[in-house]
Structure 1
């Protein structure tokens, strides 16, 4: 297999089903999916089982008990279960366009991680999208989205299918090349070199922090936010804590200032 797609999820069965349908319809077929499940109920397992016979690739379900927000911990477990040397990280609320995996493979390069983005949808349209809409790729059509109530804006240009325009926009966008948990890929050996995700961190910038340590290692980043497209389904974030957010910022600032590469509480406990 060429690549492992690592998808995080937590008790979001409806959204996860739509995301898995997106991976059923990829132009590239030679990959596996690893579900990083931070303590969901049996309903999530039922969704995964229902797709197992439908998928053209293998699917691995990595689960841990629900003991609060432990995304970094489950991601590190999923990384160890992945069977390939190249990892694509995304979330269980991000539907990939049919060329999503192919674009990550197209731009992969030693010494780099790939920084992608998403197009965020309102809750009304998130709920409206059916599995059939994903199969037909309606949900990536500007015409379909605006017909169903989405206001037209320049941000819709992210959904362009014109390769040269996407490459140009990747080049001129002012958005920083960061490690984004919803749309980033990297070599497994690079992630292991920085000891994976920092399990001292809760919600808020935990993915960026890993990217900053990759930069400290000497790994660079390429911008692909207009080439590798996924749409983000809306939902509440009951796990947000300002105190935890502030703590995460302190960790990130310390690591940047002191050029930290390997954290102590990661895949290995140092």
Structure 2
């Protein structure tokens, strides 16, 4: 029998406790729970901490909260800090506005394969539907038949057909950090997220480019690991062009290790 892999679900959040509440409720409905749930908090206020502390009291697996001071959009730093705080073999990563189908973690564990990182997809909830769900403050399962959703095909989950739709490639430019997964050891080898990428944009594809340059391939999955993205206003994107330039440089020069990244936090945990 193959050794069971330990899994950490990493949730990146910033000052939206109403959304995070729905995400955590969807975690509690998982058919297979991760071994740990880790909140990577990019400087949220006290309301987020109070929410997490309340859930910690009864959460069925360890719920860890990693926080740093709010100094602008520093997602790369907080993700590295959070991932340094787990010893789990496998990292499943989502954002704090991603509501999970009840099979989400189970499907990601099923898809895990040495030599690959995972690229998942998402369903978009409309602005009006997102407002309604947040106002309810109560989690509910969605489906392909739900009203007011976009990218509806991504809500289709058919496990026995999913293997037919897997695409393996050397792509990196189509990854989204709101639904992805990778081996912790691979993340450490490339030194995690690149601290030179600040502000919104492209930290996920730059990491994926270094995975590919290391020798990994992308495994794109469909009809499994379904999740639903709450609508929100766009972030400030003034650094996007610079961040994309860093990505292109990483890709074209075959760079697989960034000089400023995960190891600066990994040392804190031995």
Question: Is 1:205 the equivalent of 2:202?
Answer: yes
C-alpha deviation, 1:229, in angstroms: 0.8
Question: Is 1:181 the equivalent of 2:177?
Answer: yes
C-alpha deviation, 1:98, in angstroms: 0.5
Aligned residue pair count: 255
Question: Is 1:63 the equivalent of 2:67?
Answer: yes
Of stretches 48-57 and 33-42 in structure 1, the one that deviates more from structure 2 is 48-57
Q: Provide TM-score, normalisation by structure 1.
A: 0.88
Greater helix share, 1 or 2? 1
SS at match of 2:208: helix
Moved over 6 A (4+): none
- Superposition RMSD on alpha carbons, in Å? 2.0
**Among 223, 226, 235, which residue is 2:220 paired with?**
223
1:36-185 → structure 2 map (5 Å cutoff): 36-129=40-133, 130=136, 132-134=138-140, 137=141, 140-143=142-145, 145-146=146-147, 150=148, 155-171=151-167, 178-185=174-181
* Structure 1 residue aligned with 2:247: 252
Structure 2, gaps ≥5 residues long = 265-270
| Deviation by residue 1:216-256 (Cα, 9 ceiling, x = unmatched) | 00011211143111100011133321xx1111111111111
**Distance in 1 between residues matched to 2:165 and 2:116, nearest whole Å:** 19
**Distance in 2 between residues matched to 1:11 and 1:184, nearest whole Å:** 22
Structure 1, gaps ≥5 residues long = none
Does the 8 A contact of 2:167 with 2:219 survive in 1? no
C-alpha deviation, 1:264, in angstroms: 1.0
**Distance in 2 between residues matched to 1:29 and 1:52, nearest whole Å:** 15
Does the 8 A contact of 1:179 with 1:210 survive in 2? no
**Distance in 1 between residues matched to 2:10 and 2:58, nearest whole Å:** 18
**Distance in 1 between residues matched to 2:252 and 2:29, nearest whole Å:** 43
